[in-house]
Copies of this chain bind each other. A is one copy, B any other.
Amino acid sequence: MGKRALDDDFDLEVSDLEDLIGYNLKRASIAVQKHFRLAVGQDGLSARVLTALALTVKFPNITQSELARMLGIERSGLVAVVDELEARAYLRRAPVPGDRRVQALIPTEAGRAAYCATLRLVRAHEAELFQDLSPDERRLLLGLLKRIRAAEPK
């Protein structure tokens, strides 16, 4: 057993999973999403459907390709999401004059209302879950997370 092996053992002592940002990020994200599901309920929108609805409300007439790019998923994966939102009558696929390949996504009044209602639930859920973080700490955390997101590969 040479110095190399000893160094390895030392590394094991002083640094493990709990010191990795990625590990803590994932566990924290899972914790928040569990709480999210409890907050929006059994029949509530899933996180990914909510984000799709949010972007449709924010950018009416967005196309599915644009939406997929913003969400960071493939076009193919978005079909089921838009199907669900259309089945709930929260948006409709509308033809675009001038390019018959494209379907514009247009939120309905019910869609906007559902978005506002769900967002209110989610804000309440975050207020409760993060109650022992001060406003300064929340702002700090948000800023750090955005900087990490900005370093995303590809």
Contact = CB atoms under 8 A, between A and B. Distances in A.
Given A15-B119, A116-B8, A147-B133, A141 B34 contact: no
Interface stretch (A17-25, A78-86, A92-100): A17-25
Contacts of A154: 34
Interface in A22-65: 22-36, 38, 47, 51, 54-55, 57-58
A115 B25 CA distance: 20
A149 B22 contact: no
A144 B141 CA distance: 7
On chain A, which size bracket covers the interface? 35 or more
12 contacts: A11-B119, A11-B120, A12-B116, A21-B126, A27-B152, A28-B145, A31-B153, A129-B148, A132-B151, A133-B144, A141-B141, A144-B144
Interface of A: 8, 11-12, 15-17, 19-36, 38, 47, 51, 54-55, 57-58, 72, 112-113, 115-116, 119-120, 122-123, 126, 129-130, 132-133, 137-138, 140-142, 144-149, 151-154
